[in-house]
Amino acid sequence: MNTIGCLVILVSLGFSICQSANPCCSQPCQNRGVCMTRGADQYECDCTRTGYYGQNCTTPELLTWIKTKLKPTPNTVHYILTHFKGFWNIINNIPFLRNYIMSYVLTSRSHLIDSPPTYNGAYGYKNWEAYSNLSYYTRTLPPVPVDCPTPMGVAGKKTLPDAKLIAEKFLLRKRFIPDPQGTSLMFAFFAQHFTHQFFKTDMKKGPSFTRGLGHGVDLSHIYGEGLERQYKLRLLKDGKLKYKMINGEMYPPTVQDVQVEMHYPPHVPEEHKFAVGHEAFGLVPGLMMYATIWLREHNRVCDILIQEHPEWDDEQIFQTTRLILIGETIKIVIEDYVQHLSGYHFKLKFDPELLFNQRFQYQNRISSEFNTLYHWHPLLPDTFHIQDQEYSYQQFLFNNSVVIEHGISNLVESFSKQIAGRVAGGRNVPPAVLMVAKKSIEHSREMKFQSMNAYRKRFSMKPYMSFEDLTGEKEMAAELEELYGHIDAMEMYPGLLVEKPRPNAIFGETMVEMGAPYSLKGLMGNPICSPEYWKPSTFGGKVGFEIVNTVSLQRLVCQNVKGPCPVVSFHVPDMKHTESATINSSTSHSRQSDLNPTVILKGRTSEL
Ligand code: HEM
Ligand SMILES: *[C@@H]1O[C@H](CO)[C@@H](O)[C@H](O)[C@H]1NC(C)=O
Ligand SMILES: *[C@@H]1O[C@H](CO)[C@@H](O)[C@H](O)[C@H]1NC(C)=O
Ligand SMILES: *[C@@H]1O[C@H](CO)[C@@H](O)[C@H](O)[C@H]1NC(C)=O
Ligand SMILES: *[C@@H]1O[C@H](CO)[C@@H](O)[C@H](O)[C@H]1NC(C)=O
């Protein structure tokens, strides 16, 4: 390789001194060993505490060898957890077994995340700037060195295939593919709403930068990033947030009312420009629905705390309520959201005490790879069905009139009944957001992400041996091979979206094995989960602690809508029926006209 690199440079640039490629380009260090160059063409692998030794950290120590022989594969573990319902029903009802398994899930997953964080988009080696500059997302794998023979290091062709071509050939939806796990749009919008509090790329600085300095579940999407915005959104009385009453129900105030910046196109009427913590939440009524639910929850919890603590001032009620809502969010994410996504029959549990006897760092840094893998736009349908109306993207986006006209209860029920799209398996990104997928590919390249297989190895999976191994079929596999040249040059993001899904599942193996560690680390690494915080007094006493420990998605919604409780679920009610209905109705919807919203989005992609 080095000789070839030499020749190429000699011939093409006419250098008199032979320059060889950075030897770390070939990623010679295995098993999470660290590659360091020594001179121009030597390298050294640091195998410290990897459990392996040797030039490339490939020889296992005895204990490591035994462990690898005994360790079941991720797919086996997944199979066990998603089958044997009767067995799991018994385990779920034996507290010490449930606790034991849950703490194993938490530690085994979160140990895959480096904490404190290490690299970032600018630095592939550890240093103080990369550690301390919170404006960067962190990086789990260092960027591919700039002086490598190919974009993925040494594998594949000199240039990657055109991002637009990849998006159109392999990611673009031909016909809506419903998620076999029965995921609802209620889930899709929760995913978008919840994650946008910490995925806030600062495109003005570049794709490696974030405006989310909390790096986790800080509820900045409700309270705003920074004190200035927070104060504008606060009523500054009884701890509450500002609101507006419409049709006897509580909604967010408008931009005019509170003078905070929100991203709305000019044609939106002033009375529909709701103002909330996150500037971009006017984009989709699904986001504004959740923003409204959390606004109501905040003010509801304030009323409860005032009863408990008439002696507290506005500030203490506000701050304590925020901690309660953070707790509620984490509880719902683990016990409703991750529970649904996992498909496990094992019942997950949010209980910070499970980690008190483990080595665990209560800190978190959002990584760029986590953001990229979370671009789950295939979840989105072709059109949105609300009550008996059907909305195109054109009609739905930036239209808060939808929120007011239908009301929160009807929105919740309609979104809970509409099925979302399958994420893995390829060709399921709706035309309206294909631009976003194309940009994800371009940004990944700009940030010099390593290959899909490099990430599989980093997260303890076997690298794929071929494109057929990746997609589980022949057609896309052959085309991908033609375009990329080698499986070790396959990029992570398109790889995740074309990966063969697990049987009857929304995702393939890689999405889950990479996503779960980031997710659980981010949830449990929150300061409220640490021993000194996790006690009733932090949450205003027993009553507040009880709110955190008893909340569910269902309760969150039903305590905040007038009238009877709607259907609230991350899972569509009658799967078979909904699925076939969706397949039937959607086939006629993938029309050229759906492409129009892409135009709307083009100019504003940097605002999210
Ligand atoms: C109608 C619904 C949606 C629209 C119109 C939409 C559109 C967009 C746009 C325009 C961007 C910015 C892309 C860029 O500048 O590179 C974006 C980013 C993103 N979207 Fe969506 N999206 C929708 C739903 C979702 C859903 C359901 C998810 C589920 C998780 C999601 C996850 C993300 C993530 C993680 C980002 C990156 C955010 C950031 O880094 O700041 N989106 N989306
Ligand atoms: C380590 O990796 C390099 C480059 O991939 C290879 O040439 C060398 O033979 C390997 N060394 C050992 C001991 O396996
Ligand atoms: C973080 O790094 C960026 C890019 O180098 C720089 O512009 C910014 O000022 C740094 N932030 C801090 C707080 O040092
Ligand atoms: C917004 O939604 C309302 C229904 O609430 C609908 O009548 C209107 O046409 C939509 N606006 C646009 C611009 O499509
Ligand atoms: C589509 O609808 C027809 C009747 O409208 C029904 O008989 C058929 O089973 C549906 N097709 C699918 C794929 O579900």
Q: What is the pLDDT of residues 264-314, one digit of tens each?
A: 999 999 999 999 999 999 999 999 999 999 999 999 999 999 999 999 999
The number of the ligand nearest the C-alpha atom of 24 reads: 2
- Are 292 and 494 spatial neighbours (Cβ–Cβ below 8 Å)? no
Residue of 579, 584, 587, 588 with the most ligand 5 atoms within 8 Å of its CB, for mutation = 584
Q: Which atom belonging to ligand 2 lies closest to the Cα atom of 56? A: 1
Separation between Cα atoms, residue 192 and residue 287, nearest integer Å: 7
The one-character DSSP state at 137 is P
Q: What is the mean pLDDT of the chain?
A: 93
pLDDT value for 575: 52
Does residue 375 line the site of ligand 1, with CB under 6 A?
yes
**94-101 — which CB contacts under 8 Å span 24+ positions?**
98/346, 98/347, 98/349, 99/349, 99/351, 99/354, 101/346
539 to each of 306, 371, 549, how far by Cα in Å?
A: 13, 30, 11
Does residue 466 line the site of ligand 3, with CB under 6 A?
no
493 to each of 226, 316, 442, 499, how far by Cα in Å?
A: 31, 43, 10, 10
- Please give the structure tokens belonging to residue 556: 């969150």
d(CA 57, ligand 2 centre) in Å: 10
Q: For residue 156, give every residue at least 6 positions away whose Cβ sits within 8 Å of its Cβ, in sequence order, or none.
A: 150, 484, 485, 486, 488, 489
Q: Stretch 408-419: mean pLDDT, rounded? A: 98
- Are 270 and 244 spatial neighbours (Cβ–Cβ below 8 Å)? no
pLDDT value for 574: 77
Query: What pLDDT digit, counting tens, does each position of 470-518 carry?
Result: 999 999 999 999 999 999 999 999 999 999 999 999 999 999 999 999 9
Phi and psi, residue 90, nearest 5°: -70, -50
Residue 525: what residue type? G
Only one residue has tokens 């599942």, namely: 505
- Please give the structure tokens belonging to residue 390: 């059907």
Given a cut of 60, whether residue 9 has pLDDT beyond it is no
- Please give the structure tokens belonging to residue 504: 């009857």
* 362 among known catalytic residues: no
Separation between Cα atoms, residue 344 and residue 88, nearest integer Å: 9
Given a cut of 60, whether residue 199 has pLDDT beyond it is yes
Q: Stretch 36-47: mean pLDDT, rounded? A: 96
Given a cut of 50, whether residue 206 has pLDDT beyond it is yes
Task: Tell how strand 389-391 and strand 119-120 pair up.
Answer: unpaired
Separation between Cα atoms, residue 489 and residue 445, nearest integer Å: 12
Residue 33: what residue type? G
- Please give the structure tokens belonging to residue 136: 């960067």
pLDDT value for 20: 67
d(CA 460, ligand 2 centre) in Å: 20
Separation between Cα atoms, residue 482 and residue 365, nearest integer Å: 37
- Which of these is catalytic: 374, 464, 484, 493? 374
| HEC profile of 131-186 | HHCCCECEECCCCCCCCCCECCECCCCCCCCCHHHHHHHHHECCCCCECCCCEEHH
- Residue-level length of the chain: 608
pTM of the shown model: 0.92
Percent of the chain with pLDDT over 90: 91
Confidence of residue 149 (pLDDT cuts 50, 70, 90): very high
- Are 350 and 331 spatial neighbours (Cβ–Cβ below 8 Å)? yes
Residues touching ligand 4 (Cβ under 6 Å) are 395, 399, 401-402, 405
The one-character DSSP state at 21 is P
Q: Stretch 147-173: mean pLDDT, rounded? A: 98
Half-sphere exposure of 528 (CA within 13 A, CB side): 28
d(CA 594, ligand 4 centre) in Å: 16
Separation between Cα atoms, residue 466 and residue 478, nearest integer Å: 10
Given a cut of 60, whether residue 555 has pLDDT beyond it is yes
- Are 265 and 400 spatial neighbours (Cβ–Cβ below 8 Å)? no
- Which of these is catalytic: 193, 196, 377, 406? 196
Given a cut of 90, whether residue 155 has pLDDT beyond it is yes
Return the sign of the alpha-carbon dihedral for residues 519, 522, 525, 527: negative
pLDDT value for 600: 45
Confidence of residue 21 (pLDDT cuts 50, 70, 90): confident
The one-character DSSP state at 397 is T
- Please give the structure tokens belonging to residue 403: 């929120």
* Beta strands, E only, 222-291: 244-246, 249-251
The number of the ligand nearest the C-alpha atom of 175 reads: 5
Phi and psi, residue 390, nearest 5°: -125, 125
pLDDT value for 597: 45
* Of 6, 1, 25, the residue nearest 17 (C-alpha): 6
- Please give the structure tokens belonging to residue 261: 């910046």
390 bridge partner residues: 385
Separation between Cα atoms, residue 39 and residue 66, nearest integer Å: 37
Does residue 56 line the site of ligand 2, with CB under 6 A?
yes
Q: Stretch 368-378: mean pLDDT, rounded? A: 98
Half-sphere exposure of 354 (CA within 13 A, CB side): 21
Cβ neighbours around 260 below 10 Å, total: 19
Does residue 129 line the site of ligand 3, with CB under 6 A?
no
d(CA 56, ligand 2 centre) in Å: 6
The number of the ligand nearest the C-alpha atom of 370 reads: 1
- Are 189 and 337 spatial neighbours (Cβ–Cβ below 8 Å)? no
Given a cut of 60, whether residue 133 has pLDDT beyond it is yes
91 sits in which H/E element: helix 85-92
Cβ neighbours around 537 below 10 Å, total: 11
Given a cut of 80, whether residue 66 has pLDDT beyond it is yes
Return the sign of the alpha-carbon dihedral for residues 401, 403, 409, 411: positive
Does residue 135 line the site of ligand 3, with CB under 6 A?
yes
- Please give the structure tokens belonging to residue 534: 């996790």
Does residue 208 line the site of ligand 2, with CB under 6 A?
no
210 bridge partner residues: 201
Given a cut of 60, whether residue 578 has pLDDT beyond it is no
Segments in 386-491 forming alpha helices (H): 393-396, 401-417, 434-446, 452-458, 467-471, 475-484
The number of the ligand nearest the C-alpha atom of 582 reads: 5
Given a cut of 90, whether residue 599 has pLDDT beyond it is no
119 bridge partner residues: 139
Given a cut of 80, whether residue 15 has pLDDT beyond it is no
Does residue 55 line the site of ligand 2, with CB under 6 A?
yes
pLDDT value for 17: 45
- Please give the structure tokens belonging to residue 14: 């006419």
Q: For residue 379, give every residue at least 6 positions away whose Cβ sits within 8 Å of its Cβ, in sequence order, or none.
A: 179, 183, 185, 187, 188, 191, 420, 421, 423
Given a cut of 80, whether residue 366 has pLDDT beyond it is yes
Count of H-run helices and E-run strands, the chain: 27, 10
pLDDT value for 19: 52
Given a cut of 70, whether residue 204 has pLDDT beyond it is yes
CA angle 191, 219, 227 (to 5 degrees): 145
Query: What pLDDT digit, counting tens, does each position of 521-530 carry?
Result: 999 999 999 9
Residue of 123, 135, 210 with the most ligand 3 atoms within 8 Å of its CB, for mutation = 135
For residue 39, count CB atoms less than 10 angstroms from its CB and return exposed for 0-12, middle for 13-18, buried for 19 or more. Answer: exposed
Query: What pLDDT digit, counting tens, does each position of 390-404 carry?
Result: 999 999 999 999 999
Q: Stretch 533-541: mean pLDDT, rounded? A: 98
Query: What pLDDT digit, counting tens, does each position of 119-129 carry?
Result: 999 999 999 99
* 196 among known catalytic residues: yes
- Are 531 and 504 spatial neighbours (Cβ–Cβ below 8 Å)? no
